[in-house]
Structure 1
């Protein structure tokens, strides 16, 4: 029982650190500040569900998929860093405009932004994918696999609650406050993007030099 609790705690804390729902809030706020509360909740729900599905797929078949398609984690880091940088640059220049769509288009808009950039690569980045693969390899019993899925689901529930609570920030700070926060967080996201990119490209450069 102690082993199950320890493993579950490891899964929860490691995913919380890697997914970091707090860091996803500025992008979520920037994209959904002009949406109705019900649509904002729909975006958060869909992005969390997509993240859960992707992490489960990689957890149970990640190594196989990587080998079949010749994909490396470092490639994920480079692409994720590039996407992060573009999003951060737009936020820094206040070009990440709130989504404004007609009522007939809002469902498709929710689908689009919930998948990219919120689920991929914001919530489900290279670190989270790698963590899912590694932790699932340690789950050598059915019970541990159940603990893995339960802990991951619990962590994503916390992520969902963090995202939907960000609507209170929109009301509290107003448009000017959101713009200021978006510029500051845009700068931070760009720095994170550079770290992602360098972490991904460094092994390639080292192999070329050696």
Structure 2
């Protein structure tokens, strides 16, 4: 979950003369949608994959590959190509409310975050794991709400180059997580 990158996309989809109250409203709606989507994925996503016959190890390897591509793109300074296309961004600019689609889904809750949440769900074996997963999702969504709501101020203070540097650092984290998911999936399968 990278709310700074999502915030930059959010600002590009909103009108230039948008008020802080409108930005906070979009951030509030988007964060609620992200929270609900992540809870659904965390609590029932693994059962859907089991029903479809997809093994957890296969999911870890493929999800790791998706995250690896995202991490490489982030480190190289490319935009979020994986989650949305230019046609989707243009359509979003023509819509009045961008909070749920495309901002929450698929820009924020895209393949990488879905894979990460499902991987976390696969490791949950007792109620403590489910509670800690719920708390982690809650904390991430609150952080996302705070960052998205303050995005005009953050962009002004960090500047475009500051956001790019942060995005590249996050790319290293995402790439490392991806490599670990791939290694875990392969070793568990073997």
TM value normalised by structure 2: 0.69
1:130 maps to 2:109: no
Question: RMSD value over aligned CA atoms?
Answer: 3.1
2:59 corresponding residue in structure 1: 76
Distance 2:118 2:49 in 1: 16
Distance 2:106 2:49 in 1: 24
1:32 maps to 2:19: no
Bigger radius of gyration? 1
Residue pair 1:78, 1:200 contacting (<8 A) in 2 also: yes
1:120 corresponding residue in structure 2: 114
TM value normalised by structure 1: 0.63
Q: Report SS of the residue matched to 1:95.
A: coil
User: For structure 1, which segment, 38-47 or 87-96, has the greater mean C-alpha deviation from structure 2 after superposition?
Assistant: 38-47
Tell me how far 1:84 sits from its aligned partner: 0.8
Tell me how far 1:155 sits from its aligned partner: 4.3
Distance 2:173 2:59 in 1: 20
Tell me how far 1:158 sits from its aligned partner: 2.2
2:102 corresponding residue in structure 1: 109
Residue pair 2:72, 2:171 contacting (<8 A) in 1 also: yes
Structure 2 spans left out of the alignment, 5+ residues: 12-22
Tell me how far 1:76 sits from its aligned partner: 1.7
Distance 2:107 2:178 in 1: 19
Match of 2:157 among 165, 172, 176: 172
